[in-house]
Amino acid sequence: MSTVDHIEALKAKHASLEHALDEENSRPYPDDDTICSLKKRKLRIKDEISRLVVQTKPH
């Protein structure tokens, strides 16, 4: 898998987590632990995307 493909896959996973977060928040009694976990996973993916983008830019 190329770096660009990997970035795109991570972006799709990030969007999926955003959707899961929206669904959890729309529940009558959202679970705070689930929300926290989803946000942490989303942030890790965002950080990984940023790291890969910086790596692929020519110096």
Q: At CB < 8 A and 24+ separation, what contacts does 44-50 make?
A: 45/10, 45/13, 45/14, 45/17, 46/14, 48/10, 49/7, 49/10, 49/11, 49/14
Predicted confidence at residue 58, as pLDDT, reads 78
Q: What is the pTM of this model?
A: 0.88
Predicted confidence at residue 57, as pLDDT, reads 84
Predicted confidence at residue 47, as pLDDT, reads 98
Whether the per-residue pLDDT at 59 is higher than 90: the answer is no
pLDDT (tens digit per residue) in 18-50: 999 999 999 999 999 999 999 999 999 999 999
